[in-house]
Structure formats: C-alpha cells, structure tokens
Structure 1
Amino acid sequence: MAEAALHTETTCKIRHVHIECPICLSRFTDPKILDCLHNFCLKCLQELIDKQDPKTDIIICPMCKKETSIPDGGLSDLLSCFFLSSLIDDVINREGPKEGINSPVSTCEGCDEGLEAVSRCVDCDANYCKTCLDHHAKLKAISHHQIVYAVGSSNERPKDKDKTETQKCRKHTDQELCFYCDTCELLVCPKCAVLDHRASNHNLSEINDSIRSYRRAVDEALQKFDECRKQFQKVDDSFKYSQQRMQLMVARALRNIVAKEEEEITKIRNASHLLQERVTQIGQERGEGFESIQSSNHDKMSRAEQIVASVNDLMQHADNFELLDLKPKVMHNLDFHKELQFQTVQHSKSFIGFKSHDIVTDADLGEIREEEKWEVNTEFDKYGGGDGEFINARDVACFSNGDIVVTDTLRQKLSIFTSKGSYKSTGGQSGTEDGKLKQPFNVAVTSDDLLLVTDGQDVKVYDRELRYIRQFRPSQNQVEGQSKSLLRGIAVDNKDRIAVADCERKVISLHNMDGSIISTIHHDDISSYCHLSVSSKERLIFRNYDKMKLVCVDFMGNEVFNISNSIDGKPLRPLGVCCDDAGDIYVSVYCGGSGTNEIHHYDASGEHIGCKARSLYNPQGMTFTPTGDLIVADALSVKVLHRL
C-alpha cells in the first residue's frame, strides 16, 4: 500500500509538470505551441504580447527567449496542442478519491486506476494502462523513452496506427482536413488543396503518410541524438580521465619541485660553506700576515729600545773618561736607526667582500672580492618643483628601513624616497610656524630614526614621517662683538651625541639628544657651507673648501690631523664628508668642473687610499645606508653607490 501511495504521489508530480502553464502555473487553457515547442495558454500569451511593443510581430518565449513570428490572424492562429487538451480532459475525468474500492494488484500511474492490461516505461520506472501509455509515449517522444509493451515482443513497439481525430477546416467548415502541405506546413482540406496548394511546387500528402514520414524523421533525429549522447559520454569520460591524470601529474610535479628545491638548497648550502671557508681562510692568512709584520716591527722596536736603554744607563752612570772610551761603541750602536725600517700594512688588504649574482646557477651564489670597487646601483634625478623633484640636492640622510631623506636648499624642502628612488612624501613647509623650514642645509638621523635638520640658527627635529617634534638652538643669543649664528654641518655618533657646526662663529658644539651642551670646540678652519661627520673613534671630521683642507679633531678639540686635499699635485677641493663603521673617511671633491668630480677614500689616520668614484656632477653631502651602500647628493640627482 505504501508503495502504491508513493507511485501515486510521483505520478501527480509528473502530471502537473506537463499540464500546467509555466506562466500562470495553472492547468492549460487553449494551449498554443511556439516554434521552440514550449506550450502556453492563449490568454497568457496575449497578456505577454500586450506588455511588449504593440507594433511587434514576434513573441519571445519566456522559457528559452527564442522568437516566434505571430501569424497574420493573431495569436489564435498559432498551432493548438490538442494532445495537451486531451490529456487535461482525461486527468479531469479521472481525478478524485476512489473511496471504498480495494487497491488493485497493478496500478496505472497515469490515471491511478487498477487495470490488468499494464505496460511499462523503463526510463521512468512506471506502469501505465494502454490509454495513458499512448499519451505518455507521445509526451516523452522527444526524450525517446523506452516503452516495454504488454503485448508482442517485450521491447518491440507496436506498429503505428492512425490516432488522428477528424477535424474540420477553418476556412471551409464543411470539409475535413485530410491532407498536409509540406511546403506550407499546414493541414488542408480538399478545397484548400485545389484552390490554394495546387502549384506544382507544393508537396501534398495524406495525413497518415505525412505522419509516418514525420515519425521516421523524428526517429532519425533521435537516433542522431543517441549518437550525440554517445559522443558526449565519450568526451565526458575523456574529461574525467584527463582530470584524474592532471591531478596525478600535479601531485607528481609538486613532489618533483620539492625534491629539486631540497637538491638546490643542498647545493647552495654547500656552495655557501665553501665561500665561508674561503673568506675565513683569506681572513686568517691576512691576519697571520698582519701579525707577522707587526711582530717583526715589534722585535725591531724592542731591540732598539734595549739599545737606547743601555745607552741611557751608560750616560747616567759612567764617568766622563769611561764615556769617552766607550764613545765608538756607543755611537756605533746608535747607528741602528739608519737601518731601522718598519714594514707598513697595505690598507687594501683589510678589505674583503662578496658580490652575489642576480641569478644563481649551478649553486654559484656569487664571488669573493678582495679589492674594493664601487658602482652606481640606483639613481633618481627628477629635476623640477613638483613632488618627488628637486633643484639642488644638498645633503642626504638614511633611516633604518632604508628610506632616503634629501635636502633641497633652493626649494627649502625635505623629501623622502625609498631605497630604490620611489618618491614617498615631502615635509618642512607645513605644520606649525616652528616646524616650517627657512634655511635647511644638512641632515642627520639618530639611532631611533629622529631626523635632525640645521635651519639657520636652530636644529629642528622631525620623525620618520617628517612631522615636526621640537627644536633647539646650539649657540647663545648674539652679543656685541660676536657674529650671528649660522648652522651648517650636523652629525650624530653611535651614542646619539649630536655635533653641530656653526660656520659664522667657527664653533662645533657637542650636544645630548635633548639639546643640552656637552662641549664646545673652536677652530679657525671651520668655513662656510661646512659639512661635518663623526667617526666611531669619537673624532669630528670637517672640510675647508677654500683652503682645500680636511681636518680631524677629537671631542676635546685636540687636532688629530690637518691634511691638504691635493693628490699628485692635483688640487682637490673638499665638498662633503662622511665616515663608515670602521672609521674610514670618504670625501666628495671638486676637480674643476661639473661632471668631472670625484669621491676619495682616506683611512682613519688621514692617509689617502684612492679614488672610489669619478665623473660626478657636483657631489655634496653623503651618508651610508644600514647595508653599507653610499648615498651621494649630486645636486641634480641622488646616487646610491654599491660596494663590489
């Protein structure tokens, strides 16, 4: 009983799908067929066409959006679906509960009646009586459902027989429709055939013949569809196979990539170990060479000191007669200084570096460089008055993240760029009145990324976003007999002690971070446009352009060296100066014209080592990045030099 109820429910669902209009969702009333074979109530189609352009001669199917031409006589001349009308009438006649009747052994799922003559639709897995089966077969013909009949062969469909009901011609109402014109695709009566379809090119046939031909055409089309279905299945199976194969290939490729990654990492790690061992070996060999030379020099000095000590002792304790007797020996021993020659160290031997390759091949990470060279790695040179542009790049500073601050003295601005030269922001002309720059010149950065700017008589402090924080004034207010203060050079050591050069008063003042004074150093060689640097050895280095001098003093003001910038008779006027972590000094120099200027390298004692960069336009301020690159403010551009 439960199974019979389930079949009844399923049958109702199937039945309602086929007898309800998709527009009004009610049972069809005068159903009409569009060219796309979708069915709708005549009234629903009329309402649909009323909402469209009244001048249009087509109707658009609301199901598939295909177009159907409206006949000259209007929508009523569209083909009627007599099958649906008949099916609805049959359903109406058979609806209603069957109370008091025992459930039969077999139940038709079209009319819910128990009948002995039952046939079966294999595709729907449903039983039908002979009457309902005819409707079902017609309804499902387009899907080519397989029907198993109760009579004859189990899989053989009975021969077609004429199921066409007699209909009258609309034009000649006393005549029956008995012909079909394939040319006009219309049912016609004998009068229509004679009067309207007698042309030689009209193809007329009897309805039964036309139906048989029509069924054959449908069967052929369905057979072709079966071939399409098989082709689709074949293609779909190939997709499934390809997807499975692709998944296997992806998994295998990922495993191979990981394996190759491990292999290359092992190669790179081995190559890295070899390079490390080589660098360590070079360092040890050079260190041993330094120690050997240093030991030899110490031995020579020790022997000399022993001779000097003996001579001093003799001169103090021997009498005059003894001294005169020993004079030849004493003087002979004192001749040692003529042969006392100390071996000097080659500064170039203190350098060792590594140049990595942009593309690592065969675990070749790079090469060890035993000689120091520099090349321009990045340059940005947008000339003008807009954002990211400058007219006179005077000085540079670098934050811990690699961002570069550029001072433009003509535009009175500070600009921030990335390490690759991309513009980020501008500051120094907005904010409070105190925060506005009037005469910006040199800049420096503290260990916690505070930016210090010399601006006339004041040192102004900004954060990394160029927001004004505070300021302090190093020199006392002007008094009678003293020049007005004008700050130029500024530098910060690794303990965040601030050195500021006052070119008018020829003073370098040393300050704590809060601006409080530590000491004041006077020096006559402090000149206008003075650039200043501080080394790790608590020494201040500044230049004098006019006298072509490079001067170094300690924090107490004691002069360490004062050298002339003239190499092999060639005058070199110093412009900017900075120190690296080891205390070596780099000086930008003017050589006589734009585009001919250079950067020279000195050791911590002021000994000239060599030229490191040539053909610069007008290099001024310089600084080092956290990674050891040298940034140069070259007036019309900013250059980043990389040590090879």
Structure 2
Amino acid sequence: MAEAAEATAKTMLGEISQGHLECPICFCRYKDPKILDCLHTFCLNCLDGMLSKQQPSTGKITCPVCRKETPVPDAGLPGLLDCFFLSSLVDEINQQERSLETQQQATTSPTCDQCDEGLEVVSRCLDCEENLCQLCKAAHVRFKRTKTHRVTLIEHLEQKDVPSADLSKTYSLKCPKHANQEMHFYCETCKMLACGTCAAIDHRSAEHKYSEIANAIRSYREEVNDVLQKFQSSKEEFKANEESVEHARNRLKIMVNRACSDIQAKKEEEIAKIERKSQLLTDKVTEIGKKRDEEFEKVHTNNKKKMKRAEEIEAAVTDLMKQADDFELLNLKPKVMHNLEFQKDLKFERVKHGESFIGVKCQDVVLDKDLGDILHEEKWKLKTEFGKQGDGDGEFRWARGVCCFSNGDIAVNDIKNKRISVFTSTGQHKTKFDLNTLYGISVTSDLLLANCGDHVKVFDKNCQLNSEFNLSKPDVGDEPYINTSGTTVDKDNLAVVVNQQRRVTSLYNLDGSLIRDIPGAPIRQEDIAMCNKGRLVSAAYHCSALRCVEITGKEMFTVSTSLGDKEAKPAGVCCDDAGDIYVTLHCGDIGEVHHYDSQGVYVDCVAKQLWWPCGIAFSPNGELVVADQNSVKIFHRV
C-alpha cells in the first residue's frame, strides 16, 4: 500500500510539473522564470536564445505563444520581472520528489554510496545527497571539505512526513539594494516594491505615492476583480452575439433554401407554360394540316370521278365501233357523239400547291437574360389591397385579425360586422359566415380556430364546422383569448389562451384539455405568436413593448416599441420560419410594420403609411398579410 501511495504521489507530481511548471520553449522545468508583458512565462536562458535569433536592434522580444512584443529592459533580459510563484513551486516540487526518492530508497534497504563494501546505510548527507554507512559517516565528518555538511540519521528521514505543496504560500522578498531588508511597500508611481530604506530615500518626494504591500495588494485585487467582472459581461455579450450570429446563419440557410425552391418553382412554371404553348401550337398546326388535307382529298375524289366516267365512255364507244355494223353505227351516231361531248368538258381541278406547305416560326419564350434577379436586401412593397368600409361582401368595419390556409386563402376576422370572411390569395371574396370572434382566429393544419369567448369553434378549409370545445372554466368575468397570428398554434397543435381576468396564460390541446399554465407569459388581451424555438412573442399594446418568453415562462427579452422618437403601440405580431419577428404598430394616425430579429433587435421598417394595422400573418409563399381596419394589404419582397 505504501509503495502504491508513493507511486501515485510521484505520478501526480509529474502531471503537475508537465501541466504547469514546464517552459513552452524547452519543455523542461522552469529555471529563472521571467514574465513577459503578455503574462506568458519562459526560462531566462530560453528567452536569451530567442533574442539572439531576432533582429539585433529591435529592443523588443516577441512572445512565441501569442506574438505580442515586450520591450527589453536597459539591464537586459535579467531585468524582466521574476515569476517568484513558479520558482517557489518548482523548488517545492523538487523537494517533494527528493523526499519521495528518500522514502523509496529507505524501503529498499539502500547501501552506502561512498564505498563499495555494500554496508548498511545509517546516515545521509543532505548537502551531498548521498547515503553513508557507519565508517563513511565517521570519515565524512572528519574531512575538512565535508565536515560542515548536514548529516542526519536515516531513521529521522523515515519518520519525517512528506511535505505537501502549499500553492497559496506567501514569500518574503529581500531588497536587492539593502541586504536582509524585506520589502514592505509598493510605490504606485514607480510600479515597484520597496523596503523601508528605499521608501525613506528613493521614494520620499511628493510625486511618489506608495503604500503598504497589504493595502496595495487589496486595491490591486479590487481593480482586477472589477476588470474581470467586465470580462464576464463581455462573455455574456459575446454569447448573445453568438446567438444572434447563429440565428442569422440559420435564417440565411432558410432564405437560401426558400430562394432555391422559388427558382425551382419558377422553372417548373415556365416549363409548364412552354409545354402548354407547345401543345397549343402543335394542335393548331395539326388542325390546319387536317383541313388542307381534306381539301386535297376532295379534289382528288372529284378528279377521280371524272376520270372514271371518261374511261367508261371510252370503253363503250370503242366496243361499239368494233362490234356494230355501219347501219347500226349511223343510227347510234347522235348518242355516240353526245357521249363523246363529255371529253370537251373533262377538266381536272388543280390543287393549291402552296397550301401543301406549313411550318412554324418559334418565338424566344425564354429570353437571353436571367430567370430572375437576386435580392440582396430585404425590401417590401405593397403587392395588392382589397376591401373597403361597409357591410357588404368583401367589405369591413374593422378587420382586426388575419390568418392563411395552405392554399393561400385568407381568413379575415371583422369584429364589428361580427363575421369571418374568406378570400382568395388575390383578394376575391369566396364566402363568409356570422361569428362573434372578438378575441381572434388562427389556422393550423388547414383548420380554422375561432375564439367565441368561452369556447373555440373549429372549421375545415371549406369553412364547415368541424368541432368545438369549451375552454377550462375561468372565474367570473374571465375572457379567454386566442391571438390572430397564424403561428398561434404550434406544430404540435397546441393553442395558447390568455385569461385576462385570471391573469394567466395557458397552453391547451385542441380538444380543450389544459396542459399547463405558463408563468411569466402575457396576461392581457395581447397578440401572441409562437416562434419555431418554442417561444411566445407578444405585442404588449398597453405598455408599448414587445415581449418574449420561453414556453417554460423564462423571460428572454422586453423591448420598447416606437415610431421615430415617439412611443408606439404594437397591435399584431407574427414570426417567420427562422424566428424573426414582424409587428404592426400605430402612433396616433400613423401605422407601420416593423421587423425585429429573434433577440428583439430592431432590423428595419417593412411598411409605412398604414391606417390602423392590427392582425398580421405570413402567407404560404412568404408574403405578409396585414389587416388594416377597413382593408387587407398584402406585401411581398422586391
């Protein structure tokens, strides 16, 4: 057991030495370690060797680790700061290794190192670091050269415990100018330690500011701790920046994939157009050819009939002329000559030879230019607008919410007309049905969810009632709320419901069963969107802020919303596939749509000069659909 413990201790000492006490240049334990300005430490001899290989007149030495330069003092490299901590630690490790070696030698019955007799060791000279037998010990203490050496009995060494390394040990430094005087002061002006005599002689003038080492180190540690705390803040800032970079990269990847998909779709669309036009042109050519061939066939048939009649007359007259006698021929002369008159009228119809040609001159459907232009910046433009104030089909009194089906159809929640209207992606009115959905609508898996106060109705894409479910019974006066964003319901078909009076936001299954309450989530009638990271983003209208919390309730950020230097009220919110946030804002008579990244950092203004924008949603093809009170506006990237 003792041998195993000694081996373990020796291994640990080796690991400490290799990991912390070896010079990065020579890979040996430090000898006269010196600290450079970059705080990297090297042996004095190693630095000297490096300096001799550099340009002789630079007056600086380059750190081999970080390449930072350190000015060489006037006294040369020995004038660099000593690393007393590493020097002391190297001495401590060396002493421990010697002690372990002594113990190991003691357990293996060592023999005398001074003679060849193989006698038992009784003592050890600490200066020579040799084991001595009884006779050699007597000679050792008599010789003039070794009589002052420290010789101790071997059992004393065996009984001595191996000292443990104390890495927090402090060391008393002696003044290099005044022998045997310890350093007690630190001069802030000269940035150096001083003994009492140095302080009284060299640092006594008014410009010198010095203090006791304990006070100086306390102030120094406080200053370092302040800077280290700033480093910690920088780490947090870096982490946030890394998240922002990662989000930007993910969004870029999504946008690249979407752009490639759009190109592929455009290619297929253009190919389909060419195929349709090709088929149409082919059908026209075929039809023309068929009609002309029918005309040719008609001419051929008529000519053939005439030729057949001529051949019949020719054959009959020929036979008659051969077989009948003269009297009979004369009697038949009128008839024969009448038939032969057919030859005078025998005219064959000629075809229009030019109509035997048909060709095609194809147009350049795909012109000599790119299929499309690359958009390097995200800019939005109004693509189309539909609706006006009124009560008729396609008219609104307050279009508060919008959401989109997978085929592009748009459902609009008109809270004053108390109905939901459905339009095509181009704004053509399809259908409507009366429903008081003051608190919002949403689409998931082509199912339309309409919040009717204390229950939710679910309609299919044809706006036929599919099912309905009651919400968890709130307290008296509670008003459940489902927001108008198309991302209200996440991919797992979970609905977010706000009960304002109970001041709680909850997560529900679509069958109405409560999953759990969400602590820290919005507790007012606010528009909410669920992004792809499982976060809830809310437009906090009453406090003019954009809030984001995780589904667990942990707050991610809260940012104030404004138009220029004026506070603005957010009314609607939605998120794109990458998690970026789009918000409708109004300030007085001014309405806009703003874009924020997933961390709540303002990016850009998407749309201006809106009337009273509320609900906002993304269409399947990435267009922004905005409910602007008396109309619906669709914006696309340009």
TM-score by length of 2: 0.46
Choose between structure 1 and 2 for higher RCO, CA contacts under 8 A separated by at least 6 residues. Answer: 2
TM-score by length of 1: 0.46
Answer with 1 or 2: which has the greater Rg: 1
